[in-house]
Structures are given as structure tokens and as C-alpha cells.
Amino acid sequence: MALTLPGAAIDASSAAAVGLAVASVSLIVVWIDRFRRGRVTTASDVAEALASALFASCASAPELAFGFVFTALWQRSVYGTWTRGVVHAVLLVLALLTALVGWPLVPGHGTPDASALLGPLPLSVLISVVSRYLAQNLVAREQAGARQSALAALSAELLAAADRDQIVSAAWVATRAICAATPHAHAIGVEQGDSGLRGYSSTGSELPGMPWPAAGLDRSPEARGLPAEVLAQLHHRLGARISWVSLALPPWASACPPAGCWSARSAGPR
């Protein structure tokens, strides 16, 4: 935006300058919010498209909007699904097409050069597809490296562990690192306490509605599922529909009493 805005504001009328200012601030807010949240929403994609249309309509030439549109597509490629990414690219294309109608309405503008705007438009969709393919491969490699580092650190910790508590502590450190490197992955440990079952997430924060009633969970070693009320709490906590794989840990493998200890990993939103 810093490189694009000066050229877009050349000989701008007061109305165009106000439009450029509003569009620029809106775009910057969307980009920073996307980066800080690490995810995208439909509202943010629509807001970016509307702000892009306003910017292109108020710029000294509509095609100057490509100065930030291409880089915005690269940033957007590391968030969300393929389908949402293509929809985002289509929204930006429609936004720039809208500028062909909106640009003549701004005081001081005449008839836009449609060819200068329409020529690079197909590149927007192409860049969206290529950048998403490259970004997903790079992110997957980075995540695999992080998981490998976590397991390597765990191996070193296990060699130095002298008792069961140290082993369990090292395992949960590795669990947190692996979940952090795996999208939509969560792990919890459920242990039997004096007042019932207590669940702790991979980040160590206690889940809402705890402790769970001790009678609400099957304590048998063959247990492979959490009760419906427990799953409902997890769904509410994580804000997504998830699938859980539950593993009952034998007493010798955990710091929990023989009554039971469970870990669960979500398969991600469906």
C-alpha cells in the first residue's frame, strides 16, 4: 500500500482523496486483522473486495489497484481452504470490474482505459491458485519440521528422565508442540481427581464446565469414546464440529490413578 498509494493519489480531487484514505485504512485493517487472527472470515473477504473497489474507483488510474491486489492474494493464500481462496480471488476480480463503472463517477475522472484493467485480471485468479499451491507446500514442510523437532526433543528428555512424572511431563511438552504445528489438532488429558474427572487442554488451560462428573465417563481400558455431554463442551470450546479419537492410557503409562486417563485429538472441522 505504501508503494501504491502515492501514485494513486496524483492529482486526486478532494472526493477521490477521501475515498482513497477510507479504502486504504480499511484494507490495512483487514490485512492486519487477518494476520493477527491467523484465519479468514467471509466478512473480511467481502470488506477487502469492497475497499478494493473503492480504491480502484478513486485512484488516478483503476489499474493501479493491482499494486496491492497481487500481494494481497499472496498473503491470503496461507489462510483458509482452496474453495474460499478461489472465491476471494473472484471477489477481487469483480471489485476491479466494478471500478470501470465507479471510476467515471468520481469528480475529476473521465473515461477509464478498460484494456489496462482487463488485461491483468486473469492473472489474479492464476496467482491465487499458484500461490496457494506453493504456500501449502511450504507450510506443510514447516509443520513437519516442527513436529520432527518436538519428537527429537522428546527423545532427549526421555533419555534423561528418572521417573514416571518426568516422562509424562516431557510427553505433554511434546504434545503441545505437535498440536501447535498441526492445524485443527487438539489434545486433552482427562484424569480422575477427588471431585471427579478433570480435563486439561494441550495448552494447560482447564476446559469449561470442569470437573466432569466421575460417573460420566467409561473407565474400562477398552473405552474409545467420550460421553456426548463432554463432546458438546469440547465443540463449544473449540468453536467447530470435530471428531475425536480417544485412547485409554494404562496406569503404568500415565501419572493418573488407575481409574483412567484419556487423550483425544481432533480431526479438524468438517
Q: What is the DSSP annotation of 39-64? A: S--HHHHHHHHHHHHHHHHHSSSGGG
Query: What confidence score (pLDDT) does residue 92 get?
Result: 92
Phi first, then psi, for residue 249 (nearest 5°) are -90, 135
Boundary (domain end) residue, out of 138, 162, 196: 138
- Measured CA to CA, the distance from residue 100 to residue 228 in angstroms comes to 55
Same domain, 115 and 235: no
The fraction of the chain above a pLDDT of 90, given in percent, is: 31
The span from the first CA to the last CA of the chain, in angstroms, equals: 36
Q: State the pLDDT at residue 270.
A: 32
pLDDT tens digits for 33-86?
A: 999 988 889 999 999 999 999 999 999 999 999 999 988 998 898 888 888 888
Same domain? For 12 and 127 the reply is yes
Q: In 3D, which of 248, 256, 245, 246 has the Cα closest to residue 168?
A: 256
Domain end, chosen from 111, 138, 165, is at: 138
pLDDT value, residue 167: 86
Most confident of 12-16, 217-221, 261-265: 12-16
Please name the amino acid found at residue 24. Answer: S
Q: Are residues 192 and 113 in the same domain?
A: no
pLDDT on residue 117 = 84
Let me know if residue 82 belongs to a domain.
yes
What average pLDDT is seen over the chain? Answer: 80
Specify if 42 maps to a domain: yes
pLDDT in tens, 154-193: 999 999 888 888 888 888 889 888 888 887 787 777 766 6
Note whether 205 and 123 are same-domain residues.
no
**Cβ atoms of 187 and 266 closer than 8 Å:** no
Are residues 193 and 85 both part of a single domain? no
In the chain, the amino acid numbered 134 is L
- Residue 98 forms part of a structural domain: yes
Would residue 88 count as lying in a domain?
yes
Which pLDDT tens digit goes with each residue over 84-134?
888 999 999 999 999 999 999 998 888 888 888 888 888 888 888 888 888
260 pLDDT band, cuts 50/70/90, is very low
Q: What is the pLDDT of residue 266?
A: 45
Supply the pLDDT for residue 197. 63
Q: Is residue 145 part of a domain?
A: no
| 116 and 239 fall within a common domain | no
Count how many domains the chain has.
Answer: 2
Tell me which long-range contacts 215-222 makes (C-beta under 8 A, separation of at least 24).
Answer: 217/190, 217/260, 217/262, 219/192, 219/259, 219/260, 220/248, 221/248, 221/250, 222/248
Q: Is the pLDDT of residue 225 over 70?
A: no
- The pTM of this model reads 0.62
* 78 occurs within a structural domain: yes
Judgement on whether residues 132 and 233 belong to the same structural domain of the protein: no
Beta-sheet strand order (sheet of 196-201) = 196-201, 187-193, 261-266, 244-248
What is the three-class DSSP state of 93? helix
Instruction: Cell 516431557: give the residue.
Output: 170
Q: Do residue 12 and residue 122 come from a single domain?
A: yes
Short-list 113, 93, 103, CA closest to 20: 103
Query: Is 161 within the bounds of a domain?
Result: no
Q: Report the sign of the C-alpha dihedral through residues 78, 81, 82, 86, in that order.
A: negative
Q: Which alpha helices (DSSP H) does the chain contain, by range? A: 5-8, 14-37, 42-58, 66-76, 82-102, 114-118, 121-160, 164-180, 228-238
Per-residue pLDDT, 219: 52
Same domain membership, residue 10 and residue 89: yes
Reduced to 3 states, what is the DSSP secondary structure of residue 248? Answer: strand
In a domain, 64, yes or no: yes
Specify the DSSP class assigned to residue 10. Answer: T
Find the domain containing 32 and state its range.
5-138
Instruction: Say whether both 217 and 104 belong to one domain.
Output: no
**Domain end: 138, 167, 200, which one?**
138
Q: List the one residue out of 266, 261, 265, 263 whose CA is nearest residue 197.
A: 261
